[in-house]
A and B are shown apart, each in its own frame.
Chain A
Amino acid sequence: MIAYLAKRILMLIPLLIGITLITFAVIHLAPGEPVDMQISMSPKVSAEARQRIREFYGLDKPLHVQYVQWLGRMARLDFGRSFAPDNRPVTDKIAERIPITLSLNIVALILEFGLAIPIGILAAVRRDTLLDKGITVFVFVGFAVPTFWLALLLMYFFGVKLGWLPISGIHSLGSDRLGPAAWFLDMVKHLVLPIGVMTFGSLAGLSRYMRSSMLEVIRQDYITTARAKGLPERTVILRHALRNALLPVITFLGFSLPGLIGGSVIFETIFAIPGMGLLFYQGVMMRDYPLIMGILVIGAFLTLIGNLLADICYSIADPRIRHGRT
């Protein structure tokens, strides 16, 4: 087991280097440079000033030199400073945005699973009834409706018309003067709409998945046996069928782990939530190489770790994997 683990962890290093090499090359191949955003088209900028700014950022060196320098800093866990005019350390910029993105995504994920699984079970059990069809329509409406449009409608209705919920941001003005409970409640109010819309949009995929997985299990002989034993239908479904039906869904959960630090540009733009999605988007638009690389490396690292954890879990569950036999 230890040898297996060590092997897997060592394998991460070339993988990570490979990923960074490719991403580094790709973003530098994209036309344009950070300098353009700052100074292009300003009548007060001379070509010389431009050259100075390029040197300041080290963009005048050949690409492979830039990569090796970057890799060297990376090895010391130095993500460098952003090329944006604020010139702040990339880690600071990421650190101030990760908490909100992470907590939003976790809450949304919990809600998504908490709602989609019962919905899927219900649809499977009541297969082909009006309820099943109603659920299908509901989740697919959520899937098909453009989220930005739905978000704007809800904001208008609950925020402007009724005045029940705040429209954007994550805190009210002056919320820092509130007590902790009121402060938290203020934040919850701000997050109702974004999390609600986010969850509604993602119900379709998982609930359909759950439904078909459940249907497959229900058809199996052991369920018939359970029913034949005279167990109540409730027990048959929730005890015996659900366990097996959940297995593929857990794999689904594994896939969504790396997505936790990724944000959605559209959501964050509409709800004015300062998250990772917007940060990354702005980074790409400004060709802020250190920031882009920083986010990608963290993302790649988390994905690899996620895969590793999944593999470990599998190997615990299945001895054939850890002994390399099939």
Chain B
Amino acid sequence: MLTQESQPRVPADAGPQGPGQKVRISRFTPAGLMTVAGAAAGALGLVWVLYERVLPLSGVLGFWLSWYVVFLLFYVAMARIQWDWREVSHRLATVAFVTGGTLAIVIVLGQVVFTLLRGSGVVIHGNFYTQSMAFAGPLSPLTSGGVLHAMVGTVEQIAIATIFSVPLAVATGLFLAEVGGAVARPVRVIVEAMTALPDIIAGLFVYALFILTLGLQKSGLAASIALSVTMIPIIARASEVVLRLVPGTLREAAYALGASQWRTVWNVVLSTARSGLATAVVLGMARGIGETAPVLVVTGVTKEMNFDPLQGPQMSLPLFIYNYAHTEAGRAAYIARGFGAGFALVLVVLLLFTIARMIGGSAPGQLSRRQRRRLGRQAAQG
């Protein structure tokens, strides 16, 4: 009974508990549920009377905020009648964390749902995917003009940025995980600090380097470089985590067979960590694809299709949103187009994230159960 399994294998209401089954600490009881419901209803009544009728208060959000506070107070009082303080604090914490956590998740999820809802009216028009904004003015209906030029720009920029950043980032991850040494410590600290680099600084850097120092034009290439500056630390950090999960026994086995270090890394470490590395890269791409601030200052805004990342302004999805929902916002059709592009961007990020989950298990560096079993088998018997 004392050794609890970490995963409950039995349904909650499975009869008397035998040895090896999880001891359930808390359980819903009618009394507990009714206390919550009673406190909620009582608080609603009291707050309504005081807030709307007696005190000079007004405002919807303020009402619900007051209601929540009064609800918690009522709940404490009602629980105190039935249980001792220890039980009351436990129950109060449960109610507060469950309601607070659920609310936060709903809000965080709400921003995505909001964008999807507002954008859904635009993305049902086929021309949204097949036209640029070249022939669509502020008064054009949603049945003309689209985001094709921004999609082309986004795809080209993220592709170039990935080509730039992946070799360097994975090599850095390998350096941190496989070589180490005195240099590795500062590199690791800097890589970690750079993962949270303000995205506008990357744009500022590329602006200073390309446009002010080298005298080049604004272009898609400059945006790609700004994106790779933000992506390199993210991918490097994630690949280090993944590479560290490769069992040391595999390396030792390779060494014992007389393999050199680079052979070991090439044939054993990299092939073991392949799916995790792919996850790291895809997550880096998902981060890079939505970066707005870096591309804002180094590629110009355009309505035209531009396939050439080397010259001329090139649009991308985030920049499209920034332009139509903020800079030129005012016309309802423009704002709607901005939300349409937001819809597309959210879908792309969702898609990348799902791909990352499918190839790499639940998190960067966490192997799926099947992979872990396979590794375990390999390590145990070969």
A and B associate = no
Which residues from chain A sit less than 8 Å from chain B, CB to CB? none
Which residues from chain B sit less than 8 Å from chain A, CB to CB? none
